[in-house]
A and B are shown apart, each in its own frame.
Chain A
Amino acid sequence: MRIFYNECKKAFTSPIFIALLLLFAAFNIFVIVNSSDHKEELKVASELVEKYGRTITDQSLRQFEQDFQVELAELKKITGREYSSVYDFLDGLNHEDHELYDENEWLFINQLQLKEMYVSMAKDIDGNYARIDFKKFAEAEIEKYGLGGAAAKTLQHEYEEFSKRFEEMKQNGEHKEWFFAGKAYFMHSLLYRSVFMHIIIEALLLMVLSTALITNYEFENRTHLVAYATTRGRSLMKDKLAASLTMATSITIFLLAVTLGTFFVVFDYSTMWGTSISSAFNWEYQYPYVSWWDLSVGTFLVGVIVVVYVVMLLFSGLTFALSTLVKNSYITFFLMSSFFVIALLIPSFMLTSSNLLFITTHNLSSLVLNPHQLFMGSSGLTMFKTFELMTIGCWTMITMLFCIFSLKRFNKKDIQ
């Protein structure tokens, strides 16, 4: 245990490591606070959940519409004119008219506008979803990537499977749950494409740095002859592996805790945890986010955290194995960066008619760089139902084999 602690200490007492960790945490907080200008508007969606329940039923939507009409009548009292829509009122407004209403009245008008947006979106769900055809989406994707032969067939088949899931979802109404309006606030993108992406890149940098530092510490401080001639001997490498994985865990936990803690303090998700991630409101671009399984916002978040954490451990294992071979932190860092980029590029060099294209997309870089698309069926070439499981499973095997190989090699290698 003392050896393990001492190995961890080498990383967490490194000034550059501490400085980067604090800098990254501060940067993440800044990004979140800087993106929080619409946080008050999000409360409207929360109020809807509290008042009408999470699920949008015909009855609850009718009730919401009735309440909206009542509030629209309130607008008449304020403006002196009758409007069938808040937008009509806003469209007819001149710049100088703004001064006609006080702060509270504007607050009411803005809230009403948002409610109208939610009413309208909720009413359009069935119509919009009826127009979505994932088989056609598959054809568009095949054309976009220029797929042919076996690759086109594979993707088509997977989208057929996904279409079944989509139809099933439409039947069970899983998507009819309140969530922050995607096209207005892009909260899914903010959390997963921006915030999570920062966490992932930062954690990767720190994790590669700490793993390479711990693994190569003896060689870079020229203490290897003393350390590996002790009773513990070359088994010290196993302690270094355990310390590297622990540091990867600590880095991930720290960055996740600080960043997500700040995120959920700034943005109130308390009423949204149970909402389906496939909610029709979670629709930001051309197609809504539709997951392969009925996942709630909370479960999806936990799923993404688990995937990110496991990927960090795998990258730490790979960095460790590579470090024992090259014995230099800088070279390890360079090689790991290259590995990360090459893994992303390899699919683009594959034949577009071969299933090898999909096999090569099952890499850790592709997995971890698209956290917003995890578990989703609407995610292009990585839309496969088992994409996350297969990628993690295969790379766990590869990482374990690589670690075992490097440890065995190190056990036999002369230490000069």
Chain B
Amino acid sequence: MLVVKDMAKQYGDFTALKDINLEFTNGLYGLLAPNGAGKTTLIKMLATLIAPTKGEVLYNGKNILSMDDQYRELLGYLPQQFGYYKNYSPKQYLLYLAALKGISKKEAALKIDELLEKVALSQVVNKKMKKFSGGMIQRVGIAQALLNDPKILILDEPTAGLDPKERARFRHLLSELARDRLVIISTHIVSDIESIANEIIMIKNQQILYKDSVEKICELLEGHVYETSIGYEQLGVFRKQYVLLSEKQEQGNMIVRFIHKGNPENEWRPVSPQLEDVFLYEYRDEIDGEA
């Protein structure tokens, strides 16, 4: 079990994270927050790349920084920006990373073939990676994270650069992996994890906002999400009055999805809240700010 205890991270006067308390067991956890919320900071602390200013991370009761290589032996990690050696082939690069992970050359060679097959790169095993697309590089990244058959798999924005077909394949792979290990995926793309995560962790104002199942989180907005059809001219006023979640054109009108916590109008149709609704509602200020 991985436990994050009273953890905080500060960079000078800037607080990146504070009062973080989390518990992870086997299963798939989705770390969901907009860019800049502190997901990567939390992930890097779990990967021992950065040390918390306060608090600690424990694996089976032991501090992961004290465990040092014993902890990282159990870890598979894909960073947000996966770097690679341009003039290496996936096989050469994975063999190097296998050496860093303490895997014998013979064992690594077998494992690499199997993993590259799994991420659909078996045709380009010996091709130089400088010719690879972003999606192919990301798949090499996923393969390297799985090299040591990790007990803890941490993936930071793993679907960046993947096309819809690859995303679907990836989700399937993750579900399979999460059966007997701990998988933590950091993302700001709700659809990546909505259907596969056992629990969702949302970070807001440098703190944990929610840590619960998708259903439980969605229940928070139960009865407050509606859809209705309005004219174009009403859209501006509507935006000011309600928290708009989505809008689409249909037969000359606008179908809007929004949140309202008071008495509904008659023509409004209540709908089941989705994880994306909660995401948009909770981070509306940040998202508006980004826009």
Contacts and interface: CB of A to CB of B under 8 A. Distances in A.
Contact of B97 (A230, A233, A416): A230
A196 to B, nearest CB: 35
A221 to B, nearest CB: 5
Contacts of A416: 44, 49-50
A2 B83 contact: no
In this complex, the interface size class of chain B, counting residues with CB under 8 Å from chain A, is: 20 to 34
B68 A233 contact: yes
A226 B51 CA distance: 16
Contacts, number: 76
Chain B interface, >50% SS class = loop
Interface string B52-72: 000000000000000011001
Interface residues of A, number: 23
B72 A230 contact: yes
B72 A231 contact: yes
A224 interface: yes
Interface in B69-87: 69, 72-73, 75, 77-79, 81-86
A411 to B, nearest CB: 10
A231 B49 contact: no
Which of B50, B73, B81, B99 has the most chain A CB within a 10 Å cutoff?
B99
Interface stretch (B19-27, B100-108, B234-242, B281-289): B100-108
Contact of B85 (A3, A223, A230, A236): A223
Contacts of B229: none
Contacts of B97: 226-227, 230
Interface in A175-232: 218, 221-232
Given A226-B82, A226-B83, A231 B102 contact: yes
Contact of A2 (B44, B84, B105): B105
A226 B101 contact: no
Contacts of A226: 77-79, 82-83, 97, 141, 144
B268 to A, nearest CB: 47
A222 B47 contact: no
Contact of A227 (B100, B105, B148): B100
Contacts of B75: 229
A233 to B, nearest CB: 5
B158 to A, nearest CB: 13
A386 interface: no
Given A229-B47, A232-B101, A223 B69 contact: no
Contacts of A222: 81, 83
Interface of A: 2-3, 6, 218, 221-233, 235-236, 412, 414-416
Interface of B: 44, 47-51, 68-69, 72-73, 75, 77-79, 81-86, 96-97, 99-102, 105, 141, 144, 148
